[in-house]
Amino acid sequence: MTNESSKGVLYAAAAYAAWGLFPLFFKLLSQVGAMEVVAHRTVWSLLFVMALLLVKKHFRWMRALLDQPKVLGAFALSALLLATNWLVYVWAVQNDHVLDASLGYFINPLVNVALGFLVLHERPRKLQWLAVGLAAAGVIWLTVQGGRLPWVALSLAFSFGFYGLLRKIAPLGALEGLTVETLVLAPIAIAALAWWSWQGHSALVAADSSTLLLLLLSGPLTAVTLLLFASGARRIPMTTLGLLQYIAPSTQFVLGVWLYREPFQPTRLIGFALIWLALAVYSLESLWASRRPALQAA
């Protein structure tokens, strides 16, 4: 493994490990509504990335972007998907649905396969289709057992799946893209915070200093993890990145079961097991496909 590849694995693993531990952070903000947390996360993320751009003196791309309304429209849509993902995730953590959140990110890679086929006209291999089918069976089982769709998991999986699709075809890098997305969301976030403050319901006027500090930190934490992920993704193959991404939902699953003691009925284990089997098939098939050219050459 080259030095650049080693750095890539380290950066990506750090990003996924941080995302896996995010429930510990957002549980500390349970006294603040999920919508307000997302509003703060947006505003402070914007200030953080703008500070980075100022340090790097990297603003020229903004002028060129103004002449590309289609690109701006695509990023407005990705901003909406990102805000939806953040809102559902924070709500899930605050309302004892960490297990459902972990399930969403377990399903996400298989949603990516389906979106690649439907939108990008990619040709999934037979075992990849088997993995998608097993995951669908797991979701159906969880729906039947719970009497309702696992909406938290599906919302997270599909919002992040479509977000990843838009970012894949977008012409901007991670820092520039996050800047545009937070710029789009910031006016709404600022207006909401101003309204809640005027009504006397905002953490800005009612919370203690430790809560305000945590809200301020939510921006840099969000931006740094996304930038770590982008730095890692540029240095390592997609197969390696795909295997590393299971760090986050696995960590969340452990936190949900053993730390937060969320109810986990034995019947639900069958649904999770089907999805884990799907991920095993998907991961092993991806590894085999990535190594096949080298084996054939040998």
pLDDT of residue 238: 58
Report pTM.
0.86
The pLDDT of 122-127, averaged and rounded, is 78
Q: How far are the Cα atoms of 14, 91, 143 from residue 244, in angstroms, in the given order?
A: 10, 25, 28
Distance between CA 288 and CA 298 in Å, rounded?
A: 15
Average pLDDT score over residue span 29-38: 94
Structure confidence by residue, pLDDT tens digits, 236-261:
765 567 667 788 888 999 999 899 99
| pLDDT one-digit tens code per residue, 190-210 | 999 999 999 888 888 888 999
pLDDT one-digit tens code per residue, 151-195: 999 999 999 888 888 877 777 877 888 899 999 999 999 999 999
pLDDT at res. 134: 87
State both tokens at 276. Answer: 């884990």
Q: What is the dihedral of CA 211, 215, 220, 224, to 10 degrees?
A: 90
DSSP string computed for the chain = --HHHHHHHHHHHHHHHHHHHHHHHHHTTTTS-HHHHHHHHHHHHHHHHHHHHHHHT--HHHHHHTT-HHHHHHHHHHHHHHHHHHHHHHHHHHTT-HHHHHHHHHHHHHHHHHHHHHTS-----HHHHHHHHHHHHHHHHHHHHHTS--HHHHHHHHHHHHHHHHHHH-SS-HHHHHHHHHHHHHHHHHHHHHHHHHHT-SHHHHS-HHHHHHHHHHHHHHHHHHHHHHHHHTTS-HHHHHHHTTHHHHHHHHIIIIIS-----HHHHHHHHHHHHHHHHHHHHHHHHHHHHHHHH-
Angle at 248 between CA 111 and CA 227, to 5 degrees: 90
- How confident is residue 268, by pLDDT bands cut at 50, 70 and 90? confident
125-136 residue pLDDT tens = 788 788 888 888
pLDDT at 298 over 60: no
CB burial class (10 A; 0-12, 13-18, 19+) of residue 13?
Answer: middle
Total domain count, the chain: 1
Least confident of 101-115, 193-207, 228-242: 228-242
For residue 36, what pLDDT is reported? 96
- Give the per-residue pLDDT at 210: 93
> Residue 57, by phi and psi: left (phi above 0), alpha (psi -120 to 50) or beta?
left
Domain range enclosing 30: 3-297
